[in-house]
Amino acid sequence: MIGSRKSLNSQVLIRLITVILVCLTATVVAIKIPNPNYADALTKSILFFEGQRSGKLPPNQRMTWRKDSALLDGADKGVDLVGGYYDAGDNVKFHFPMAFTTTMLAWSVEQFKNSMGPDLQHATEAIRWSTDYFLKATNIPNMVYAQVGNAEGDHNCWERPEDMDTPRTAFAVTAQAPGSEVSAEIAAALAAASVVFKPTDPAYSKSLVNRAVQVFEFADKYRGSYNDSIGPWVCPFYCNYNGYNDELLWAAAWLLKATKKPTYWSYVKQNIINFKSGMESGLSEFGWDAKHAGINVLISKFVLDNPSNANPFLPYADTFVCSVLPESPTNTVRYTPGGLMYKSGICNMQNPTALSFLLLTYARYMKSRVIRCGNTDVTQKMLIRFARSQVNYILGRNPMNMSYMVGFGTKFPQRIHHRGASLPSIDQHPEKIGCKEGSQYFLSENPNPNLHIGAVVGGPDIRDYFADSRPNSAQSEPATYVNAPLVGLLAYFKAHP
């Protein structure tokens, strides 16, 4: 018995030593794995927006396979609505997600411009391409254009934006048919952009903030959802599922930041109470449709400097953190086995980029402050480390060993769900490709002929598996609102590798 026990103890000791050696080896290997080239990824993430441009392209257009498109937008209503962005792989201009994209691009620059280097100019150009357009879309008092293009018609075709012949109907919200969510988000975008341009172009900045004030007043005075006004055209693509109260608060918060006027602080403070039930049910939500977490993180900068105003903004922001971090006992978010934040639905990658941006921004605001999640203390370093893990996953540190940004790294998606990228460019194929003539390219298993550099696709499924398939739009389609917060993340990690 003694001999057997001695032998058993020896086996246990050997096994323990083996485990320790494996762990040490894994640690050494992990240390040796370099971080991705954040600077390269930043440049490409901004370049992506040039491939999404609608309208008359400028002489310095770098994504040269794209050409002028939709040059008569707004003509059906006798207005100029040329410009702006296509939201994803289609040819419709949905102003609700376009405005959120603009807000997040502006927040990225406002927070991280000192880390952008030569990319700063391109980032501000990307913002201005959108704000110039939104000044057109809000040019008539008590009217906001909310969409250009018939989504059903567009989605039944597979054609280049340069060729499209589907209806380019312009849809507006008015005092009689309101759309508070889309109007307030446009106001937020204009206000956020005004902060960006204030140091370099104060006249343009003033025009943006003045228009933001007008559009916000319209959104607040004539309350209602655009689901009820132009729902048949915006739904089911960009229906508003979370109500419009969060957009009103979001816009007011950005106007507070842009103007420093106490009236906006009073509005935010009063209405955070009036909209309490909606806020508390969506504290971990942030994206084109839900601004709850973003409001609290944005306001936290203001209230951290004025502790008497902390409630309820800091508790709400802390709850957001605790609902997201995997080590938190109150975490409500799922993760893939490889560690990517995952929420079911279309284009999952919008969640890790937007939520990671908020966590990184909040970490920079909170500095040495510690958040208590149950029995776990959460520090600034933990939030930054988590945000980095999500960015690294996107850029290639994942079970598929592939980058989900087109053109970054050696392995990336080749068949993204994007009309312009999947069809031969006009340079290669000058003849028009009609509505159904593009189907052969859509169904082809060949790689896309045009490299849409910087496009971040919807990403893998809950098991970390990615099917590089054009028809699988949930996984293979890029979107502007995925890239916009990623710009800020990449700028920070470029400066803090």
Q: Which residues are catalytic?
A: 417
175 CB-near residues (< 8 Å, 6+ apart): 142, 218, 221, 222
Query: Residue 55 forms beta bridges with which residues?
Result: 69
- Yes or no: say if 286 and 294 are a contact pair by the CB < 8 Å rule: yes
- Yes or no: say if 70 and 54 are a contact pair by the CB < 8 Å rule: yes
Q: Report the chain's terminal Cα–Cα distance, integer Å.
A: 57
Assign residue 78 a region (left: φ > 0; alpha: ψ between -120 and 50; beta: otherwise).
Answer: left
CA distance 223 to 233: 19
Phi/psi of residue 186, nearest 5 degrees: -65, -40
Nearest to 414 by CA among 440, 371, 438, 448: 448
| C-alpha distances out from residue 255 to 81, 180, 197, 266, 344, Å | 25, 16, 14, 12, 33
| C-alpha distances out from residue 24 to 14, 15, 30, 35, 304, Å | 15, 14, 10, 20, 41
CA distance 25 to 182: 53
Peptide bond into 236 cis (omega under 30): yes
Tell me the three state secondary structure of residue 482: helix
Query: Residue 371 forms beta bridges with which residues?
Result: 378
